[in-house]
Amino acid sequence: MYRITVFRGDGIGVEVAEQAIKVVRKLGEKHHLVFEIEEALIGGVSIDKHGVPVTPEALKQAKESDAVFLGAVGGPKWDGLESSKRPEKGLLSLRRELGAYANLRPVRVFGDLAKKSTLKEEIVSGIDFVIVRELTGGIYFGEPRGIFVLPDGRGEQGINTEVYTTPEIERIAEKAFECARRRKRRLTSVDKANVLESSQLWRKVVEEVHKRYPDVTLDHRYVDDCAMQLIREPKQFDVILTNNMFGDILSDEAAMLTGSIGMLASASVGDHCALYEPVHGSAPDIAGKDIANPLASILSVAMMMEHSFNLLELSQSVENAVEKTLGDGFRSADIYQEGMRQVGCSEMGDLIVERIA
Ligand code: NAD
């Protein structure tokens, strides 16, 4: 039996999570496996009910599960709250509680969706790589940080600190090498070692870890070069390993290669059970209309089957169902192309379930 905690969250999170649940149920039924789904509240809905973005009980439940799925959090109703009380704080608490230090974000162009990209079709069609981003260290968390008055009184200075330790780099590098081993065995580590000492240490530790993965080819790139290469020739990449800030920026850049944010799945893995979520937010502009694209959520279920449960056949069957549904000409509004049939969020979920069967 596999225990999954589902946080639907807010906005379209509710609708896309419903489609993810349908897919999990279908996989269980088809393969005679028990997936026990327990729901819990996070984000705005939790604020409304409990006064906090996530309760200690919900965090405990998540930590004790075998995997966690999250739709999305946030919305204009809660935008006025101070940052420690906002819906997004619930997500940060959940990631911290799960010790989720590695964010895996596959970037893949399904079927002929290359036509929806802002780049030339031949550059993006067939793209298939993964970005492994360090999620709990680096400049977003380093101390000292803050805005301080200058001693001479001529204004202020804003300070942030990029810090990485050997153990932090080792554990994320191991995740990236493991990921490369499951793929084409090519790892590109991205840093700024020509300028930053934290990157020089990063490079040194990645080289050390590489000795344990001699079957994986490693190369290093500076982040500015990588940003350029992602647009010039994205198909050269298999697995990209990078720190928190570079990963934040490069993964959004890479997301745009695929045509729509509604297609991008993610897994955040670490010390405890992993967290699976679509990359997009709660999309208040389309919430409640049944027009959101649920494929990012459904592909996050495929990642869960592979990474948390090692059920590779099930993971593959979900990806195949997505490929087939798109190949059959069904499209949600965000990826609609002329001549295709536009379907809503819930119908897209049903079409995937049919094709898994
Ligand atoms: P967003 O991702 O919610 O939406 C950006 C744009 O993409 C919108 O036009 C939206 O309609 C569209 N879009 C997003 N997902 C889609 C899907 N599945 N299908 C079709 N179209 C889709 O980002 P935003 O507008 O910047 O943020 C809205 C709220 O979501 C904010 O409160 C923000 O804080 C929150 N947010 C949450 C998460 C999360 O829960 N992981 C991530 C990002 C933003």
For 1-12, write each residue's pLDDT tens digit: 999 999 999 999
**Cα separation, 304 vs 318, whole angstroms:** 11
Instruction: Please tell me if the CB atom of residue 281 comes closer than 6 angstroms to any atom of ligand 1.
Output: yes
Compute the 3-state secondary structure of the chain and give helix, strand, coil in percent, each to the nearest 5. Answer: 45, 20, 35
Find out whether 345 and 294 touch, Cβ atoms under 8 Å: yes
User: Hey, how many other C-beta atoms are within 10 angstroms of the C-beta on 92?
Assistant: 15
Pocket flag, ligand 1, residue 122 (CB < 6 Å)? no
The predicted structure's pLDDT at residue 302: 97
Atom of ligand 1 nearest to the CA of 43: 40
Write out the two tokens for 218. Answer: 């490693």
The percent of residues above 90 in pLDDT, for the chain, comes to 86
Give the pLDDT confidence of 164-176 residue by residue, as tens digits.
999 999 999 999 9
Q: Given a cut of 90, is residue 268 above it in pLDDT?
A: yes
3-state SS assignment for residue 262: helix
Q: Which pLDDT belongs to residue 111?
A: 79
* CB 262 near ligand 1, within 6 Å: yes
**Domains in the chain and their CATH numbers?**
1-106+262-357 (3.40.718.10), 118-258 (3.40.718.10)
Q: What whole-number distance in Å separates Cα of residue 315 and Cα of residue 123? A: 27
| CB 72 less than 6 A from any atom of ligand 1 | yes
* Pocket residue to mutate for ligand 1, from 280, 300, 334, 347, most atoms within 8 A of Cβ: 280
Question: Taking CA 227 as the corner, what is the angle to CA 168 and CA 296, rounded to the nearest 5 degrees?
Answer: 75
pLDDT at 141: 87
Average per-residue pLDDT for the chain: 95
Of 37, 40, 46, nearest to 60 by C-alpha is: 40
The residues facing 154 across adjacent strands are none
Read off the pTM.
0.90
Give just the sign of the alpha carbon dihedral 203, 206, 210, 211.
positive
Nearest CA to ligand 1 atom 25: 283
Query: Atom 6 of ligand 1 has which residue's CA nearest to it?
Result: 283
- Cα four-point dihedral sign 87, 93, 96, 97: negative
pLDDT in tens, 191-232: 999 999 999 999 999 999 999 999 999 999 999 999 999 999
Give the pLDDT confidence of 12-44 residue by residue, as tens digits.
Answer: 999 999 999 999 999 999 999 999 999 999 999
The encoded tokens of residue 339 equal 């001549």
- Tens-place pLDDT, residues 87-100: 999 998 998 899 99
Are the C-beta atoms of 191 and 223 separated by less than 8 Å?
yes
pLDDT at 281 > cutoff 90: yes
Model pLDDT, residue 200:
98
Using the mean position of ligand 1's atoms as its centre, give its distance from the Cα of residue 14 in Å.
13
CB half-sphere exposure, 67, CA atoms < 13 A: 24
- Give me the active site residues, please: 140, 192, 224, 248, 252
- Strands (E) across the chain are located at 2-9, 35-40, 67-72, 102-108, 128-134, 146-149, 156-159, 186-191, 217-222, 239-242, 265-269, 274-278, 330-331, 341-342
In which band, very low, low, confident or very high, does the pLDDT at 271 lie, cut at 50, 70 and 90?
A: confident
Q: What is the pLDDT of residue 305?
A: 97
Mean pLDDT over 270-286 rounds to 93
What is the predicted pLDDT for the residue at 158?
96
Report whether 67 contacts 304 (CB < 8 A): yes
Ligand 1 atom closest to residue 9's alpha carbon, by position in its atom list: 40
Q: Point out the ligand 1 atom lying closest to the alpha carbon of residue 292.
A: 19
| Cα 353 to Cα 294, 307, 349, distances in angstroms | 12, 21, 6
Q: With contact defined as beta carbons under 8 Å apart, do 280 and 296 qualify?
A: yes
CA angle 149, 153, 158 (to 5 degrees): 30
Instruction: Output phi, psi for 279, to 5 deg.
Output: -75, -25
Q: Is the CB of 8 under 6 A from ligand 1?
A: no
- With a 6 Å cutoff on the Cβ, whether 42 touches ligand 1 is no
